[in-house]
Structure 1
Amino acid sequence: MKFSRIAAAVTTAALAPAVLIASPAFADGPGAPDAGHQPATTTPDRSVPDQAKEDRKTILAIIAHPMASEYMKEAGHKAIADGPQAMRKFIEVDQHKIRLDDYRIAISRLTADAGPGLKEGINKLLSGKHDIDMLRHFYEVTQYELRDDDNRVEISRLIGTGGPAVKEAGKKALKGTPADRAQFLKTGRFLAQASDDRVELSRIDESWDGPILSEAIGKLLNGSPTPAELRHFLEVTQYELRDQDNRVAIAKIIDGGGPELVKAGRAALAGTAADRTEFLKTGQHEARAKDQAAKDKAAKDKPTAGKDGQDQGNGSGTGSGSGTGAAATGNTATTAQGHTGAPLATTGAGDGTTLIAGGAGTALVAGAGLLLAARMRRAGAQR
């Protein structure tokens, strides 16, 4: 009997907690929810909708990135429209393939303004094996290192060929940062070059004699020219104005000049700017020398005034002798006929011979008359 009571008591003690927990009194305790607000039954797993929402946010961030191409944006919007599976595929596969192509295209475009070093680096990268990480590092890091190397080379070249202001500014840039070197090549070099160009224009103005170029230089320097305007004047305009001054100078030189000088000057005016420069430098002097040589030859070949008179006298003497001989030989009949010396003059070579022959004929007539008178006197005396 005693053993049965003990067993019952133990059973009652074991069942008591379960009964108390399940009883309405426990349920209505101070911490229990109010009626009608009991917890709902467990809902199904919502991981798929949540993942789709996160994927959509990820895709929107990808296509908003500055490196995202139009193709990347188009593919991203299409994946969002096609649903969760398409979005997951875009994130895990498609975006990486597209990004690889985008980097290749972006790196290829760098060659447009790249120096020799950067171009070589681009060709080496794209022609070899590469992955997305290599492409990203080249685009974000390596390209700037190679650009700076090219900038150093270019600045050194400018220092070697530039004026004092360019040399000073270039050396300062080489000692600075990559940004300093990039800024020098972008703007600093042109400001320094403008300072050197002003000095050069002043030097040209002092050494040039032509009015057209000098006037233009003065007008330019007294204004507010840009570095580009100064450079264009030195590289282009000054030579056009020099040629105009040269044309004016050549026209003045050939005005009243000798035949060779005029001929050479006109050929230069009809030729190129280089032809005109060459004429003023050497051609005009060569043409003048030819004209002078022609003058000297003409003066040497032409007889002097005194010598001409002497030659004419000798010719008259010779003609007189011949004429006298002819008169003596052929004037017997002429004189016997009682003619003057005019017919004999026709045998001479010139007017001088005619006069001398006429004088000789008169002398012969007078001599014959005297001889006749003498004979008549002697005849009278004998009688």
Structure 2
Amino acid sequence: MSRVSAVLTAVALAPAILFPASASATDTSTDTAGPAGISAPDQADEDNRVAILRIIADKNTGRGLMEAAQTAMNGTPEDRVQFLKVGQFKAREDDDRVRLMQILSKGGPAVREAANTAMSGTIEDVRAFLTVGLKIAQDDDRVHAAQLMSVGGPAVRDAANAAFNGTYDDIAVFLNSGWEKAKSADRVHTSQLAETGGPAVRAAALAALDGTYADVAAFLNTGWAKAKSADRVHTSQLAETGGPAVRAAALAALDGTYADVAAFLNTGWAEAEAKDKADAKAAAEKAVEEQAAKDKAVAEQAAKDKAAAEQTARDKANGTVTQAGLTSITSTTTTSTTTASTTATELAATGGGTDLPWQIGGGAAAVGLGAALLVASRRRSGTEV
């Protein structure tokens, strides 16, 4: 900068220097070398220095051009002339190609493709890319990122949104690596849903994992919700048709979250159904036991009734025999009494006395009673046999 100041000072003082030199020109020979104290070659070199300093001060100057300019400034006047005539253009071309390579290394797909095409062409192609083609390619990458966001799963959408909220470099990172990472995250999410979801969710998730990423994204965006609804419908049907335990468990799950529904369908349903079967079995066994007890009581009562009826029949039969025996005894007694009376009369007629008839009658009655008892005893024995 001291050189620039010197140049500017020299330019400012030039009129004052030139004027005295002009005034004394009549007294001396003509001098065509220029202002007093500055020769023509020196003035040219100062101009060259100013031009090079302007290049160094330009914020768009590349690294290679900057280094070449500083080298020229520190060199000879010839070095500065060579730099301004040839070296700066070579350095600018190198800087443009270096910049192209830098863009190529971190650009998105469209930028990389356009940069590769320019790299294979002339320096004019390189500069056309840097001035016009780069912007066009960056816009193409933004369109691509928007398309991926529109069809991607939750993780891809989140990553794309974050990229759009940043710079183009963020878009390029998303397209180059972030998209793949987000797709993997969506697949992991789908796998987790397959493990924890109900039957419908599990089937849909596994089918998506067997397909492409588009299938995974479609499952996460719409298929998951449809499968969850199908699991809820299944649970409602079980609540209507299941046993008491299944119905209670299903209704409790429907009153909760989808996680409750999935837990019911995965394990709770089987447990409740097992309880219903166990309760039904226990109830059936109890009914069998109760019926057996009733049958036993009926059989015992029938046996008692039969025994009572048989006893009644025997008692009735015994009563008939006794009556018949008493009738026979009465008849025999009467006959014996009559006979005894007749005998007594006859005895009385023969002088046997009044006591004799009574003795004869009593004996006859005793004989008749004994005969009747004997008959009754034999009949009873015959009946019991």
Q: Which structure has more helix as a fraction of its residues? A: 2
Which bin holds the TM-score, normalised by the shorter protein?
0.3 to 0.5
TM-score, length basis structure 2: 0.40
Greater RCO, 1 or 2 (C-alpha within 8 Å, sep 6+)? 2
TM-score, length basis structure 1: 0.40
